[in-house]
Amino acid sequence: MDPVAGPGMTRESGELPQDLVHGLLRLCEGDLSFRLPRSRTRDSADTAAFFVNSIAEELERILRTSREQETRLSAFLERMSQTLVQVASGDLSAQMDRDYAGDSVDVLAYLLNNTITELASFVDAAQHKAEEDRLRLEALVAERTRELDRLATTDVLTETYNRRRLEELGQQEIGRATRYRYSLCVAMLDLDHFKDVNDVFGHAVGDVALRRAADAIRSRVRAHDHVGRYGGEEFVIIAPSTTMDGARHLAGAVRDAVSNATFEVAGKPVTLTISVGLAQWVRGESLDAVLSRADGAMYLAKNAGRNTVREPESPDSTPAS
């Protein structure tokens, strides 16, 4: 056989063997299972059969591989769809299984998994920051609320309770004293000669005097006592679970503390003293009534020469036991 002529074809004839032509036509028709029998004699017919069979096997392999890839790609797309549905529903732990084949499908799975992981990290970081922002906002709101509550209940100058808050606490303590049958006393305190302090030294020094007096009062009361500025230079102490003997002791300690709070301005002493009126609450009595009796006792202290403690001369009724 002439090697230039090809299988089964001579240079002289220029014709292809019929078996080769027939086989190629069957393959062109799509019959990739068609095979020519081989004699292994290496003659033209056997060579034609070899070529036809080799082409058929290669076409079958290509078709099989293509179908496998199509099936694999279809399965991949189904899995990818399921994974993306999980991600869309908020499950950022979803990942696609990989076969590590290294082909385009495996690379796509790798890229999708990486994208989901990065998205999860981004969402986690965003949620963490949102939580930090929420906690900071809550802390800020709580701080502002406390500040507003303090401003609403505190006298700005002396940092004791203001009159409104003091009256609220007084009503609460009367309610508890009524319910649990314990004693309750109030003290009305007034800075002596406070107008003279303002007239001689000015209102700024008068403000200092009020603050020092308030500090001195707070230094002697108990943790459960309530101290407030009632108005001008007047203060009130509400002392729960306190008998008149206890109130006398408390008032004396407060009076001494205020006397020791004297200070100087430009070498001149600013003397601080207080007159104190005491009253013990009696069952059924209103807060206004017991405060009025303490106020009357305070004026008795003023008339007695100031810097002293007095009680009502004639109680309206018997104190609560």
Cβ-in-10-Å burial (0-12, 13-18, 19+) of 104 comes to exposed
State the catalytic residues: 233
Confidence (pLDDT) at 3: 45
Structure token pair of residue 193? 């000669």
Confidence (pLDDT) at 149: 86
Strands across the sheet containing 234-240: 226-231, 234-240, 184-191, 274-280, 309-310
For tokens 């590590």, name the residue. Answer: 100
| Per-residue confidence in pLDDT tens, the chain, 321 aa | 444 445 444 444 567 778 788 888 888 888 888 888 888 888 888 888 888 888 888 888 888 888 888 888 888 888 888 898 988 898 989 898 888 888 888 888 899 999 999 999 999 999 999 999 999 999 999 999 888 888 889 999 999 999 999 999 999 999 999 999 999 999 999 999 999 999 999 999 999 999 999 999 999 999 999 999 999 999 999 999 999 999 999 999 999 999 999 999 999 999 999 999 999 999 999 999 999 999 999 999 999 999 999 999 865 544 444
Confidence (pLDDT) at 34: 85
CATH architecture of 163-310: 2-Layer Sandwich (3.30)
Confidence (pLDDT) at 27: 81
C-alpha 22/C-alpha 54 separation (Å) is: 15
C-alpha 242/C-alpha 184 separation (Å) is: 5
The domains of the chain are located at 18-88, 163-310
Amino acid (one-letter) located at 39: S
pTM of the predicted structure, to 2 decimals: 0.61
Confidence (pLDDT) at 317: 44
Nearest Cα residue to 190 out of 246, 268, 260, 254: 254
What are the Cα distances from residue 51, in Å, to 7, 45, 65, 251?
8, 10, 21, 123
Confidence (pLDDT) at 106: 87
C-alpha 244/C-alpha 223 separation (Å) is: 18
Phi and psi (nearest 5°) for 75?
A: -65, -40
Confidence (pLDDT) at 13: 53
C-alpha 197/C-alpha 205 separation (Å) is: 7
Which is it for strands 309-310 and 268-270: parallel, antiparallel or unpaired?
unpaired
